[in-house]
Amino acid sequence: MPKPALLLAALPLLLAACAAPTAAEPSQPAATPHGYVAGAQENPEPQTGLLTVDRATGEARLLSLLTGDTSDAGRFGKVDALHQDGRYALVTTPEHVEVFDTGAWTVDHGDHAHYYSSEPRTVGTIEVPGPGSIAGDGKDLAVFSDTGGYAAVFRHKDLDAGSIDEAFRITTSAHRGMVVPYEGHFIASVAAEGSAVATGVEVRDDANATVLARQDCQDPAASATTRVGVVLACADAALLITEEDGTFAAERIPYPAANAGVPAATSLEHRAGSNELAGPAGDAGVWHLDVSARTWTLLPTPARTVAASAVGDTRRVLALGVDGVLRTLDPRTGAVTAEAPLLAPLTGSEPAVPALRVDASRAYLSDPAGSRVLELDYADELRAARTFDVPAADLVLETGL
């Protein structure tokens, strides 16, 4: 008879033999990787680039900031405006909106991000009468029809699949307005009967039902999404819309009484993900809005500012003057901490107003008159790191963010 020790040693082998299948078992499908996007390649770093457009012809070029390579991005005819929402560039012409997939985008998960790329392509055309404001949050895209008085809403998931199907509409009335997607809902401008401009905003759901009643906001000129909420540039204040646990609220941020008479900001530019905004303040300088602190600050400049953006580090606001000088302003003190004469003085005859785009380490200043884009290190006294000569720099977006 076998000894007990030998039986114990052989037991695992006997059990394994009994459990072995007579035929190969089918393998289980692998779980979908975290952050997976069908048809896209995930990369270890942002695939940043520049999309440049000739306003007169609509000729577009894509330039990779990683390799310096350029590629044709199509021709759209006369272009009125250029917007961006994630991977998509929205090219507004007098008749419609062209949707162009730039082929590069970032998905922010809060504590980390994923960087994707795919082949750039033209997705198709959005037919909306009198297209005006365009806004998106990376999930929904709203194109507002000034003449129709509604916003046509498109889902990113449909665009990703190559389909331009209107999902639904947010309806108000014919006026110069906007609809801004936010947290699965839509901030919609509303106008008094017969008014051509907005007098307030409401928050609607995807059934067009109101979930936050009308809030005063005269003639909103721009919107910006921050980590605190969505900010609207109203004629006499900023209006901050926030959401918590499905409940929406609004808070007005008035301009300082000491700066009465200074023109309101009509643009709100910033580094994506930051809570600081900036925009020209007429001849007086630059408005800086600290959304977290709910405070406006007027930063005087030696020359009238035509383009401005907040870096979002509490220490830098960039402002381009009509004298062609780019300046760094300290929003805490108002001091000019750096300046660089980068462009020829602006006369108003340029093909377009220069644009200023800011990311986590660089700023990009377009020079429409010189058909070039300057890459600037704003942490190193506005040092010009690279210059990109392009066929046209009338309209410029930084892609891949």
Cα–Cα dist 29/227, whole Å? 37
**Rg of the chain on CA atoms, in Å:** 26
Domain contains 206 = yes
Rounded to a whole number of angstroms, the distance between the first and last alpha carbons of the chain is 75
Domain contains 339 = no
- Determine the Cα angle at 396 with ends 399 and 275, to 5°: 65
Which residue type, as a one-letter code, is found at position 268? Answer: L
Domain contains 200 = yes
pLDDT of residue 23: 46
Q: Number of folded domains in the chain?
A: 1
Q: What is the pLDDT along the chain (401 residues), one digit of tens a residue?
A: 444 444 344 444 433 444 444 444 444 445 566 666 778 999 999 999 999 999 999 999 999 999 999 999 999 999 999 999 999 999 999 989 999 999 999 988 878 999 999 999 999 999 999 999 999 999 999 999 999 999 999 999 999 999 999 999 999 999 999 999 999 999 999 999 989 999 999 999 999 999 999 999 999 999 999 999 999 999 999 999 999 999 999 999 999 999 999 999 999 999 998 999 999 999 999 999 999 999 999 999 999 999 999 999 999 999 999 999 999 999 999 999 999 999 999 998 888 999 999 999 999 999 999 999 999 999 999 999 999 999 999 999 999 99
Domain contains 319 = no
Pairing of strands 121-126, 131-136: unpaired
Domain containing 241 equals: 128-254
Domain contains 48 = no
Residue pair 229/242 in contact (Cβ under 8 Å)? The answer is yes
Element (H, E) at 361: none
The CATH number assigned to the domain holding 155 equals 2.130.10.10
Cα–Cα dist 172/103, whole Å? 34
Domain contains 261 = no
Domain contains 201 = yes
319: closest CA among 348, 333, 299? 299
Tokens coding 115 = 């960087």
Domain contains 214 = yes
DSSP letters for 323-392: TSEEEEE-TTT--EEEEEE-SPPP-S-SSS---EEE-SS-EEEEEGGGTEEEEEETTTTTEEEEEEE-S-
Beta bridge partners, 64, equal: 49
